């Protein structure tokens, strides 16, 4: 039997990091088993679907390494509507489903409780199909439904506690539960690897598989992904869009590595490992069923490690979208003609050790490409205190006299200026850094001044001096 797994997102918004985790787990499992990864777009909610969301799913999968052409699909659930309706008809004709025209208010009036589930009122009344008649599955009165799950063992559900659930609406359109089962049957899915949030629906779906005469798939419900408050990650509350992380400058390799650690870990005391190790060592049955904490700070640290591991030419290439304004959320503050590729290449090794996401490259190097620095006024107020004017005057005079404009000469010269005033280098260089770069933190100062050049450095220091009394 060929293993066939599927990833079935809905095109109703940005691509959730939890969905990306599930896609990767399905992808690796299929590859390990010599099987097939199927992409199915569950697009039956026409009111919420947009074509650009579908393209966003495909692009996001491309980015994390599940490239187009390497999987089967994408299929679209809406194209299988005829099979969904046919299955609903078979269930009705076989007596496994019946029609009901009860409203929620009807049920509440009969039961006296707004919390009571459906009471089976129409089970034996023989109501036929018609406008406003929903089709309900006839759940067995006795026994249990056992879900064999590779991660959670054998969760067992008492059938009497499962209400007769709706499988087709009053207009005849099948609901998600039935459509999902029929699609999996049609596509020959053998293993369903999905998030824990779907587990409550699984006994209902397994009953549908049985009623339609097909052996259910192997189930595996991976842990829910939660935030630092141990709440399920929410699009309304948390930063969950994979595209947002991509556009901020997270590397695909770092994201893949981190997502696979949500509920699982490679052997040994290590977390950052080559993708080939993850592909070899990942085991579904080793996934921890407990909720998995999505720690953005840890992801940042991961990403910083991945950035520092890049060869410098690859780092320079990776930064280009942010330096040129291509495909990013905002263009850089300089004009294209102001960018100096050679100057960036000179400081790239310094920047590479200091940023955690690629978008941080812009504020670290913008001083090189702007006619004048973007002054952080809070930094100016904090740094430019009594004595700063005298220090800048002395530093300008000392720098003007330098024969060699290099980092070592600049450093020793400024050290001497500070020593004459009883200042250590840190205190001495702070006003110079703000005058030249506009900020109190950034790349190593003297290497930056070397690349910026004598004329531009002195011009900025003089301009800063004019702002001081």
Q: At residue 112, does pLDDT exceed 80?
A: no
Q: Looking at the annotation, which residues are catalytic?
A: 235
Residue 110 banded pLDDT, cuts 50, 70, 90: confident
What CA–CA distance (Å, rounded) separates 385 from 403?
30
**In the chain, what are the helix, strand and coil shares in percent, each to the nearest 5?**
50, 10, 40
Q: Which pLDDT value is given to residue 382?
A: 94
Whole-prediction pTM: 0.91
Pair of tokens at residue 469 = 């009394």
- Average pLDDT over the chain, rounded to whole? 94
Q: What is the pLDDT of residues 170-220, one digit of tens each?
A: 999 999 999 999 999 999 999 999 999 999 999 999 999 999 999 999 999
Q: What is the pLDDT of residues 357-409, one digit of tens each?
A: 999 999 999 999 999 999 999 999 999 999 999 999 999 999 999 999 999 99
Q: Which pLDDT value is given to residue 120?
A: 82
Q: Is the distance from CB of 174 to CB of 82 less than 8 angstroms?
A: no
E-strand stretches of 262-383 = 292-293
Q: At residue 107, does pLDDT exceed 90?
A: no
Q: What is the pLDDT of residues 212-257, one digit of tens each?
A: 999 999 999 999 999 999 999 988 888 999 999 999 999 999 999 9
Residue 115 banded pLDDT, cuts 50, 70, 90: low
Q: Which pLDDT value is given to residue 307?
A: 98
What CA–CA distance (Å, rounded) separates 19 from 243?
12
What CA–CA distance (Å, rounded) separates 385 from 388?
6
Q: What is the pLDDT of residues 249-289, one digit of tens each?
A: 999 999 999 999 999 999 998 999 999 999 999 999 999 99
Q: Is the distance from CB of 144 to CB of 159 less than 8 angstroms?
A: yes
Q: Which pLDDT value is given to residue 414?
A: 97
Q: Which pLDDT value is given to residue 105?
A: 85
Q: Is the distance from CB of 364 to CB of 445 less than 8 angstroms?
A: no
* Residue ranges of domains in the chain, CATH in brackets: 4-75+176-225 (3.40.50.620), 84-168 (3.90.800.10), 372-467 (1.10.10.350)
C-alpha dihedral (239, 242, 245, 250), degrees to nearest 10:
140
Give, as one character, the DSSP assignment of residue 109.
H
Q: Which pLDDT value is given to residue 327?
A: 67
Residue 53 banded pLDDT, cuts 50, 70, 90: confident
Mean pLDDT in residue range 299-308: 98
Residue 411 banded pLDDT, cuts 50, 70, 90: very high
Mean pLDDT in residue range 84-105: 95
Q: At residue 448, does pLDDT exceed 80?
A: yes
């Amino acid at each position: 039997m060929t293993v066939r797994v599927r990833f079935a997102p809905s095109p109703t918004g940005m691509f959730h990091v939890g969905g990306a985790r599930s896609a990767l787990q399905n992808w690796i499992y299929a590859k390990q088993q010599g099987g097939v990864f199927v992409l199915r777009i569950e697009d039956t909610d026409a009111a919420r679907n947009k074509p650009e969301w579908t393209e966003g799913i495909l692009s996001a999968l491309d980015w994390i390494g599940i490239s187009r052409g390497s999987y089967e699909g994408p299929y679209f659930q809406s194209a299988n509507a005829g099979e969904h309706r046919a299955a609903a008809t078979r269930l009705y004709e076989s007596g496994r489903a019946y029609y009901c025209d009860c409203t929620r208010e009807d049920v509440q009036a009969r039961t006296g409780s707004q919390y009571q589930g459906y009471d089976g009122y129409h089970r034996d009344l023989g109501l036929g199909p018609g406008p406003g008649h929903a089709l309900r599955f006839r759940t067995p009165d006795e026994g249990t439904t056992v879900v064999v799950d590779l991660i959670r063992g054998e969760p067992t559900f008492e059938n009497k506690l499962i209400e007769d659930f709706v499988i087709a609406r009053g207009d005849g359109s099948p609901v998600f539960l039935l459509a999902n089962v029929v699609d999996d049957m049609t596509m020959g899915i053998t293993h369903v690897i999905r998030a824990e949030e779907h587990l409550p629906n699984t006994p209902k779906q397994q009953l549908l598989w049985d009623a339609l005469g097909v052996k259910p798939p192997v189930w595996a419900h991976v842990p829910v992904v939660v935030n630092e408050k141990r709440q399920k990650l929410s699009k309304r509350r948390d930063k969950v869009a994979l595209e947002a992380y991509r556009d901020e400058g997270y590397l695909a390799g770092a994201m893949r590595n981190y997502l696979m650690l949500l509920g699982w870990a490679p052997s040994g005391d290590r977390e950052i490992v080559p993708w080939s190790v993850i592909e070899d060592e990942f085991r579904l049955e080793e996934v921890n069923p407990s909720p998995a904490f999505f720690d953005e700070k840890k992801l940042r640290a991961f990403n910083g490690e991945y950035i520092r591991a890049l060869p410098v030419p690859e780092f320079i290439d990776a930064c280009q979208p942010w330096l040129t304004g291509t495909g990013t959320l905002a263009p850089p503050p300089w004009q294209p003609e102001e960018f100096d590729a050679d100057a960036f290449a000179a400081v790239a090794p310094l920047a590479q050790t200091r940023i955690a996401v690629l978008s941080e490259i812009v504020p670290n190097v913008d001083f090189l490409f702007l006619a004048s620095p973007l002054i952080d006024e809070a930094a100016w107020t904090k740094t430019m205190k009594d004595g700063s004017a005298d220090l800048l005057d002395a530093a300008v005079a000392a720098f003007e006299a330098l024969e060699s404009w290099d980092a070592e000469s600049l450093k020793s010269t400024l050290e001497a200026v500070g020593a004459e005033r009883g200042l250590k280098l840190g205190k001495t260089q702070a006003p110079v850094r703000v005058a030249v770069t506009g900020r109190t933190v950034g790349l190593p100062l003297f290497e930056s001044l070397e690349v910026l050049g004598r004329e531009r450095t002195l011009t900025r220091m003089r301009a800063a001096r004019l702002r001081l009394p």
